[in-house]
Amino acid sequence: MTNPLLSVWDTPFKLAPFDKISDADFAPAFEEALAAHKAEIEAIAASAEAPSFANTIEAMEVAGEGLDKVLSVFFSVAGADSNPAREELQRDFSPKLAAHSAEISANKALFGRIKTIWDARDTLDLTEEQQRVLMLTHRGFVRGGAALEGDVDARMKEIKSRLAVLGTEFTQNLLADEREWFMPLAEEDLGGLPEFAVDAARAAGEEKGAEGPVVTLSRSIIVPFLQFSPRRDLREKAFEAWAARGANGGETDNRAIAGEILALREERAKLLGYASFADYKLETEMAKTPDAVRGLLMDVWEPAKARAEADAAVLTEMMHADGINGDLAPWDWRYYAEKRRKAEHDLDEAALKPYLQLDRMIEASFACATKLFGLQFKALDVPLYHEDCRAWEVTRDGDHVAVFIGDYFARGGKRSGAWCSAMRGQAKFPEVQGPVVINVCNFAKGDPALLSYDDARTLFHEFGHALHQMLSNVTYESISGTSVARDFVELPSQLYEHWLEVPEVLAEYATHAETGEPMPQAMLEKVLGAANFDQGFATVEYVASALVDLAFHEGAAPSDPMAKQAEVLAELGMPAAITMRHATPHFAHVFAGDGYSSGYYSYMWSEVMDADAFEAFEEAGDAFDPETAKALEQHILSTGGSVEADELYKRFRGRLPGVEALLKGRGLAA
């Protein structure tokens, strides 16, 4: 019988036939597809024809289609619906993929062909896109070590392979800690918790096979518990477990893994002639240098820290008024901040949540895309990898644009956080293919499912990434969608969050789960008025993480990452009642792979642009101004990585932005 992963998919929109795929299919399909890609690359490298853009660069673009199909399915389910079999496969595949990638980038014959084309580029009459693809291909090979020889070349392959293994181990250790820990709650421990938090705790207890409600380390469960539970002892226990992920000793401890990863990254950078890994990594980003990154982060750190310290004083007074002496602790902050928000803005999260139904927020995110870009969404009945997943066909003027998949609920086999990925990227070469894009979130289940305001913002954020994928309109898949500089990739996602706060959007889609009534005007005004509440805390916990990430990579790799983390925080004067958003042992952005290493700052770099970009709509006097939306699509959302990021932004806005709009947007301006 033909392996469904290797067959021609004659399904609607050529979607993966999830109902026919079993875990047993992955390994044989992977091995066969990997071998096929190796043969394709070897044929390109060994071609007797003189090197040309068509027979080398374009040939590489289409090589590996079978492997892409297998991996797009596998990594989607491995991240969002893991099990022991898939975890074992991931441990097997990762080093093989790293070795395969290293073999390609170290293929001297292939690099020789690419270099010949690169050297002759001015005589080849290439389109602007083709010139860009050629430059990125040549640069990627050089940065991958293609020009290395002998022992240095061999060592580079070893480093890449080992990093792939360590990244997988880091991720799986973190998932294991998040999956295994839970805190049972007696009925009397539920006091003070709003109904939605109680429902989530009961549902989590059922999933864990416990005899009653539990708190887990899923953000959608633990954060409301820390916000609302008056039981300081239980808040402390839950927070300590959350903070200790990846640092509990034993087989799942990530501290030594983090240290080895940092040492290998430094060695890799130096083999390529860079002073540090940060210098290597930032060369291709908008920021370019560690100094530029530090400059941005410190511009924001000082006003954020001042705001956080002022807030800490207020929260400490509130705690003392409750008869609790001593210092404000990290497990106290969210509890007293929630009390303060309710007092100062008369905004009660428990009263707000029934107006933020998941289904209505999905509708809102779609409706904004319809008004801005003319997109239409029609539900699809197709097999997907989990019963919680949903799919829609996306069209414009009757033409197919993309398939969008949403996987919204937390479960034991799903890694924490939220993300967007393309199971198939947009391209016109060798034939037009519509993208298949997936958003994965970790919201608490309910009937109906209710979101916090932060959850709703996350939903809009990930859908902004999805629009970047779906509206892509380039020729080559390697530069489509989100294939852009890391510090540019968060611009569309963070920009899209702004539409959640457009009053007319909330007025129409924030309707009560039981009565169907729209959010009262007074509550709507409180929501928008409280949008910058606790921004000192949020900014400090984020910027501290970004500065630790930068410090890890801009000099010699620390022999003890935890000591280095402590040193950086001490130098910053980190407020005692705030912790890093992601401490080293669970900093998956930085250690699960190279994606955000030296690059966690990029959310803030992008936020400087998103604050300025939304001002373009405000200056036009309409959050849905057609001309501004058209320019946004034309210059940013449709162009992928076909042009340098700073040039794209200047085409949209006429200039690059300063930090002022960000500070104003966060309420941190002087």
Residues annotated as catalytic (active site), given as ranges: 462
- Provide the 10 A C-beta neighbour count for residue 343: 10
Task: Give the DSSP letter of residue 502.
Answer: -
**Structural contact between residues 365 and 505, judged by C-beta atoms closer than 8 angstroms:** no
CA distance 300 to 529: 22
> What do you get for the CA distance between the two ends of the chain, in Å?
68
Helices 128-144, 108-119: axis angle to 10 degrees equals 140
Q: Residue 440 pairs with which residues in a beta bridge?
A: 407, 419
SS3 514: coil
Burial label, 518 (beta-carbon count in 10 A; 0-12, 13-18, 19+): middle
CA distance 381 to 384: 9
- Sequence length of the chain is 670
Rounded Cα–Cα distance for residues 505 and 525 (Å): 13
The contacts of residue 294 (CB under 8 Å, 6+ apart) are 547, 550
Chain Cα centroid distance, residue 4: 30
Quick one: angle between helices 561-572 and 255-271, nearest 10? Answer: 90
Q: Are 315 and 340 in contact (CB under 8 A)?
A: yes
Find tokens 């043969």 and name the residue. 39
Strand order of the β-sheet with 436-443 is 376-380, 390-396, 399-409, 436-443, 419-424
CA-based nearest residue to 294, from 306, 309, 279: 279
DSSP structure class, residue 376: E
Cα gap 288→201, rounded to integer Å: 45
Distance of CA 13 to the CA centre of its chain: 26
Per the CB < 8 A criterion, the answer to whether 442 and 410 are in contact is yes
What are the b/e assignments for 548-582, b being 16+ CB within 10 Å? bbbbbbbeebbeebeebbeebbeebebbebbbbbb
Cis status, amide bond into 448, omega within 30 of 0? yes
Look up tokens 């292939």; give the residue: 110
DSSP state of 182: E
DSSP 8-state class, residue 420: E
Distance CA(547)–CA(295), nearest Å, equals 11
Beta strands in 436-489 (DSSP E): 436-443
Contact (CB, 8 A) for 62 and 430: yes
Q: Is 54 exposed, middle or buried (0-12, 13-18, 19+ CB in 10 A)?
A: exposed
- DSSP classification of residue 594: S
How far is Cα 378 from Cα 395, in angstroms, rounded to an integer? 8
Preceding omega of 290 cis (within 30 degrees of 0): no
Q: Report the 10 Å Cβ neighbour count for 14.
A: 15
Distance of CA 607 to the CA centre of its chain: 14
Fill in the amino acid letter for 362.
I
Report helix, strand or coil for 615. Answer: helix
127 and 70 in contact (C-beta within 8 Å)? Answer: no
